[in-house]
């Protein structure tokens, strides 16, 4: 498991492959888990989910943003998504990463970009979720959240269960709408749990705490054992279904997503879109390599294997890059 995780994490951080993947388009297995590359394609995907009683959170994908122009382009795109949600009356909100808006460029520049986004969303009563990234970006991201929350109430964030300090942060931000995840980055042992059993146990503790004490809990998991545990826990503690939702990724366990929505649970699908899909896709496979099987089952009726497609594509892109450099 750790070997597979390390493999996909290494791929996710490869800038050469990321750049090559943009040229390939959604051809390496991502077309079933990324809702298109344009706002128009994403809107049609969201409408289909809304028609089934499923809400969505929309992620305009972006990686390796170190230039102001790239961050400004991302801001423009996210503002367009907010306008699309309002115009089409979608049951949707926004998930974004501060690094995509310039956190690695300049803190104040990033803050100003995020404030513009949050303000526009606030005017339309649209929620904005700050996705948390690797440990090095946590403190500045939380600082921006703290500052913006003084003036806006339409923002929330994510707690990653593999961090030792997750419990402390969850208690600090318990009055925020909160997505609780296990964590998808490779972190060192002195900062984060490394063993799956420890991560899973902490994940359950965090979920239970926020269900009892938090504002609203988004429980992001594909694990039916966790889902069944939550169902039993909320019943035993008389917790209203209005206090939480289950979340899953677009394209994964679609039958279970619909089943939960039909059972009367609030359900939200995390819908990524855009040309910069590569890093997102690799991290999903690193986070839970079993996702590879889910993609394969839902994508292919032929004998093609997703891992083979990814590996072959990555290999060919790497070889092409070496030939160009040579």
pTM: 0.82
Identify the pLDDT of residue 24. 54
Confidence of residue 295 (pLDDT cuts 50, 70, 90): low
| Both tokens assigned to 202 | 């902490």
Query: So where are the chain's domains?
Result: 35-276
3-state secondary structure 197-251: HHHHHHHHHHHHHHHHHCCEEEEECCCHHHHHHHHHHHHHCCCCHHHEEEEEECC
| DSSP conformation letters of 34-79 | S--SSHHHHHHHHHHHHTTT-EEEEEE------SHHHHHHHHHHHH
- 151-204 confidence digits (pLDDT tens): 999 999 999 999 999 999 999 999 999 999 999 888 999 999 999 999 999 999
Q: How far apart are CA 223 and CA 59, in angstroms?
A: 22
Paired strand residues for 179: 158, 218
Which of the pair, 127 or 318, is modelled with greater confidence? 127
Q: Could you tell me which of 295, 324, 323 has the C-alpha nearest to residue 310?
A: 295
Is 179 in the active site?
A: yes
Catalytic residue among 5, 104, 177, 179: 179
Catalytic residue among 5, 59, 104, 131: 131
Identify the pLDDT of residue 32. 76
Is 288 in the active site?
A: no
Identify the pLDDT of residue 310. 45
pLDDT at position 14 over 70: no
pLDDT at position 275 over 50: yes
The CATH class that applies to domain 35-276 reads: alpha beta
- 89-147 confidence digits (pLDDT tens): 999 999 999 999 999 999 999 999 999 999 999 999 999 999 999 999 999 999 999 99
| Both tokens assigned to 9 | 């994490």
Identify the pLDDT of residue 303. 37
pLDDT at position 316 over 90: no
- Which residues are CB-contacts of 313 (< 8 A; sequence separation ≥ 6)? 21, 24, 27, 28
Identify the pLDDT of residue 21. 52
In contact, 157 and 176? CB cutoff 8 Å: yes
Q: Which of 204-208, 218-222, 274-278 has the lowest mean pLDDT?
A: 274-278
Chain CA centroid to CA 291, Å: 14
């Amino acid at each position: 498991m750790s070997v597979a995780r390390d493999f996909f994490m290494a791929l996710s951080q490869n800038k050469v492959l990321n750049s090559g993947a943009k040229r390939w388009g959604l051809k390496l297995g991502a077309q079933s888990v990324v809702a298109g590359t344009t706002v128009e394609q994403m809107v049609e995907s969201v409408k289909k989910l809304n028609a089934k009683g499923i809400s969505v959170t929309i992620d305009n994908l972006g990686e390796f943003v170190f230039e102001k122009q790239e961050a400004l382009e991302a801001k423009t795109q996210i503002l367009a998504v907010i306008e699309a949600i309002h115009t089409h009356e979608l049951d949707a909100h926004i998930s974004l990463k501060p690094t995509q808006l310039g956190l690695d460029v300049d803190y104040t520049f990033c803050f100003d970009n995020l404030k513009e986004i949050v303000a526009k969303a606030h005017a339309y009563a649209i929620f904005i979720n700050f996705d948390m990234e690797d440990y090095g970006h946590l403190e500045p991201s939380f600082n921006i959240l703290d500052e913006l929350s003084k003036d806006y109430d339409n923002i929330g964030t994510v707690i990653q269960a593999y961090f030792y300090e997750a419990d402390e942060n969850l208690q600090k931000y318990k009055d925020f709408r909160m997505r609780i995840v296990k964590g998808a980055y490779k972190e060192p042992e002195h900062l984060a749990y490394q063993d799956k059993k420890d991560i899973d146990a902490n994940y359950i503790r965090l979920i239970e705490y926020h269900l009892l004490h938090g504002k609203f809990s988004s429980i992001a998991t594909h694990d039916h054992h966790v889902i069944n545990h939550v169902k039993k826990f909320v019943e035993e503690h008389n917790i209203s279904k209005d206090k939480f939702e289950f979340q899953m990724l677009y394209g994964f366990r679609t039958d279970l997503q619909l089943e939960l929505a039909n059972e009367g649970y609030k359900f939200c699908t995390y819908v990524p879109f855009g040309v910069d899909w590569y890093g997102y896709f690799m991290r999903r496979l690193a986070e839970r390599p079993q996702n590879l099987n889910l993609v394969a089952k839902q994508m292919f009726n032929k004998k093609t294997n997703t891992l083979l497609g990814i590996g072959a594509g990555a290999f060919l892109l790497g070889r092409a890059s070496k030939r160009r450099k040579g």
